Structure 1
Amino acid sequence: MPVCNIHLLSLNVPISAFQTALRTTQVTPLVISKVIRWIIRPTTLSTSVLLNEQWDLLLILASQSPLPKSLRKLVRKQWSVSAGIPSRLIGGFRERNQELLHMSKDRVPPLTGALQKPRIANSAQNLELTEELREWMENFSQQEGASPVSMLNLLSFKPNMKESYIQYGKAFAESIGVKRGGNAKIVGTVVEVNGRKRTSNQDQSLDDETLWDEVALAHYPSIWHFADMAASDDYQEVNHRFRVPALRDTLILCTIEIALEQDAKARL
């Protein structure tokens, strides 16, 4: 199983300058994505580093090689996860990803209507829609949010609860996610966090970041497709039955993928 590096980068230059430098290297990312905001914040694992930094880019590379020196000097802070990702997902990924990102309107699933009478929660931490999140989406959708979004998920499972999450993943792929255009386009098993081997040793401190188990990148045709899912009864029934009880900790970071070439319309 190929091991890929997933980097969160805080830059000391504009994103456009990093893109320019990246084009001069031999590095060809699977994904380069502009970080937008937290949807779910981690509560126990990696909180000190993840929540005290303003992240600019998500970079996913199909190798474990470190970033070249020419790129590292543009990075103020880096946080990395290495994950084993099945060959079937890596092979042909760029072509499949381009199809997702540039899907014709007639192939994009319509919203289901859940947002007409949405379920509103007090917190988004269980992947539920809140008033604050909905207000932000209203503004965001008039700008970049009309484009597809890529949600970075990092997961740590409670002991003996991964099977429960697998049931959630099955429902996501067969009904509650896919009917809203949701696609878990990258899914992998964490092997290292910042160079430290992942551990499942339950004696480890609960704030030990090596307890992260799985990483995923989920595609949605727009931020409203994601909201439609989070606001719906059918999703929340599965979410609270299988996903929420399985997780020791998790995070979801909303990003928008950008092209390697300079995008004249990007507001960087």
Structure 2
Amino acid sequence: MGVDLLNVEGLAQLDQHAPVVMLNLMRFHPRSLDGDGSGWDAYLRYSAVTVAMIKARGGTLLWTGDARAVALGPQAGHNWDFVALVHYPTVAAFLDMMTSDAYETLADPHRRNGCAEHVIVATREAYSKFKTA
């Protein structure tokens, strides 16, 4: 995600051994910044690389879908195209992936080319119908 954007200090305050689900909110560029298709196309290239990195750390992609509309709350600044929920067995596993050389060189360029904005929110389970472990 680029070391410049990664909230290492905030993540360091979390229990490094606790499981985490990352809520990803994305808005895509109309065209990929590298000129290779759309922002969505670049995001698909990013996903092709990162899913293997997530699985290698014991994580899993739980759910993805199109963001359709803001249903409650202010709409300004919340025009997302896509949402993904990604489970990691620990916060440390997420940090390991995001700070790896492989992520920085193989995945992040596609993310940057495709996403006009990408926000990731670390969540802790309070209730789930689905078992992630």
Q: What's the TM-score bracket when you normalise by the shorter of the two chains?
A: 0.7 to 0.9
Q: 1:147 aligns with which of 18, 35, 55?
A: 18
Identity %: 29
Contact 2:42/2:111 (8 A) holds in 1: yes
Q: Which amino acid is the alignment partner of residue 151 of structure 1?
A: M
Q: Which amino acid is the alignment partner of residue 237 of structure 1?
A: T
For 1:176, the equivalent position in structure 2 comes to 53
For 1:257, the equivalent position in structure 2 comes to 125
For 2:71, the equivalent position in structure 1 comes to 194
SS state at 1:258 partner: coil
The within-5 A match list for 1:217-228 is 217-228=85-96
**Structure 2: which 5+ residue stretches go unaligned?**
31-37, 129-133
Supply the RMSD in Å over aligned alpha carbons. 2.7
Provide TM-score, normalisation by structure 2. 0.76
Following superposition, the deviation at residue 161 of structure 1 comes to: 1.2
Contact 1:129/1:231 (8 A) holds in 2: no
Q: Of the two structures, which has the highest relative contact order with CA contacts closer than 8 Å and spacing of 6 or more?
A: 2
Provide TM-score, normalisation by structure 1. 0.40
Structure-1 separation of matches of 2:53 and 2:106: 8
Q: Which amino acid is the alignment partner of residue 40 of structure 2?
A: K
Structure-2 separation of matches of 1:129 and 1:231: 11
Following superposition, the deviation at residue 226 of structure 1 comes to: 0.4
Following superposition, the deviation at residue 162 of structure 1 comes to: 0.6
Contact 1:152/1:218 (8 A) holds in 2: yes
For 1:161, the equivalent position in structure 2 comes to 39
Following superposition, the deviation at residue 146 of structure 1 comes to: 2.1
Contact 2:46/2:108 (8 A) holds in 1: no
Contact 2:50/2:107 (8 A) holds in 1: no
Following superposition, the deviation at residue 129 of structure 1 comes to: 6.6
For 2:33, the equivalent position in structure 1 comes to none
**Structure 1: which 5+ residue stretches go unaligned?**
1-39, 41-119, 196-206, 261-268
Structure-1 separation of matches of 2:7 and 2:71: 32
Could you list the structure 1 runs, at least 4 aligned residues long, displaced by more than 6 angstroms after superposition: none
Contact 1:129/1:230 (8 A) holds in 2: no
**Between Structure 1 and Structure 2, whose CA radius of gyration is higher?**
1
